[in-house]
Amino acid sequence: MGDIKKIGVMTGGGDCPGLNAVIRAVVRTAILKYGVEVVGVRSGYRGLYLGDFVPLDLDAISGILPIGGTILNSSNKDNLFQYPFEEDGKTVYRDVSDVGMENLKKAGIDAMIIIGGDGTLTSGRDYARKGLPVVGVPKTIDNDLACTDYTFGFDTAIGIASEALDRLHTTAASHSRIMVLEVMGRYAGWIALASGIAGGADAILIPEIPYDIQKVADRLKQRRDRGRNFSIVVVAEGAKSITGEIHVSKVIENSPDPIRLGGIGNKIADELEQLVGLEARATILGHIQRGGTPTAHDRILSTRYGTAAVELLMAGKYGNMVALKGDDMTYASLEDVIGKNKGVDPDGELVRMAKGIGIAFGD
């Protein structure tokens, strides 16, 4: 505990409701409980490379609890262990992680709290291997990080998606349409599954259960035959058909995560319109799920994560990520977290319950 006098905090990857609540909890816990200074690193690892630091005191974090996004800004394109440079018209990659280490040393920062998803925490683990005292905080609306039951931002995302489904229901019923809602989630179906159940969907398509579009259509026809001339379908952006096909919207060259999913909602709507014989429309919710004020649940969870991260650092338990297990805040080694996607269990209780109340998954 006596070795740490100044803590750095960083937000990396995509924005997420609750990031500011984590930052606030880190600052308040560090200052009020331990008498330790806090410095923010702007724009993720780019700020670490450039030495773009900002002091964070109690005034700096006042009022940020309910605000979405991150006051430190973020970036998901700057891996300092494989940093791109242009040379002679070509892109070459170099390990510039030592520049970040030197900048931390110059600023007198003894340890780092790194808030992010798999990509951000991978570099956090790599810095821990270099000897930097690091604690990670799991951040993603997708809820797909290993070793923790829930990530902050997930509750806000499913709340937004559920509200969208409530609104789509009235249009679907008024016009006798099939309304398809495409939600985020990457290669995990947590947002689609939870919002679909909460929003009364008739079909939910997720990456973990390959779908047969004909089987989905047959279930919607059964609804129509019972006099229900509309249906609601929720599709995860990473949902795949029984042929293994996923829908890639574009590929971003020179990005640590080049594959951009999206557009499957329109594909599903077109196919169902032909197979069911009802007009179908798609809504792609997109970044709306990541913006705006976090729910009360996410504010509390974010605060717990931020406080636990400082306590883990001060206890000397470096190289770990704070994690939620049941009702308890605990931790797991970053080595055990990285590269392990936590997907929906196709045979789990939530899926079995959803099928039991008549929701189709296309299997």
pLDDT tens digits for range 40-80 = 999 999 999 999 999 999 999 999 999 999 999 988 788 99
Distance CA 352, CA 348 (A): 6
* pLDDT at residue 227 greater than cutoff 50: yes
pLDDT for 79-136, tens place per residue?
Answer: 999 998 888 888 889 999 999 999 999 999 999 999 999 999 999 999 999 999 999 9
Q: Say what the pLDDT of residue 134 is.
A: 97
Are residues 350 and 193 in contact, defined by beta-carbon separation less than 8 angstroms?
yes
Domains and CATH numbers, the chain: 6-152+294-326 (3.40.50.450), 155-291+345-356 (3.40.50.460)
The H-or-E segment that residue 331 falls in is strand 328-333
One-letter amino acid identity for 157? A
pLDDT at position 88? 85
| Rounded Cα gap, residues 7 and 102, in angstroms | 15
Q: What span, in angstroms and rounded, lies between the C-alpha atoms of 250 and 256?
A: 14
- What mean pLDDT value characterizes the chain? 94
- Is pLDDT of 255 > 70? no
Instruction: Render pLDDT for 278-310 as a digit per residue (tens, 0 to 9).
Output: 999 999 999 999 999 999 999 999 999 999 999
How far lies 220's CA from each of 178, 191, 211, 228, 351, in Å? Answer: 9, 22, 14, 9, 19
Write down the H helix ranges in 52-204. Answer: 97-107, 118-129, 154-175, 190-198
Looking at the predicted structure, is the pLDDT value of residue 2 above 60? Answer: no
The closest alpha carbon to 70, from 49, 50, 54, belongs to 54
Q: How confident is the model at residue 336 (pLDDT cuts 50, 70, 90)?
A: very high
- pLDDT band for position 257 (50/70/90)? low
Q: What is the pLDDT of residues 46-57, one digit of tens each?
A: 999 999 999 999
Per-residue model confidence (pLDDT) at position 1:
47
Find, among 219, 213, 179, the residue nearest to 199 by Cα. Answer: 179
Q: What pLDDT does 261 receive?
A: 78
Which has the minimum average pLDDT: 100-104, 245-249, 317-321, 343-347?
245-249
Q: Report the share of the chain in percent with pLDDT over 70.
A: 97
Q: What residues are annotated to the active site?
A: 142
pLDDT score, position 256: 59
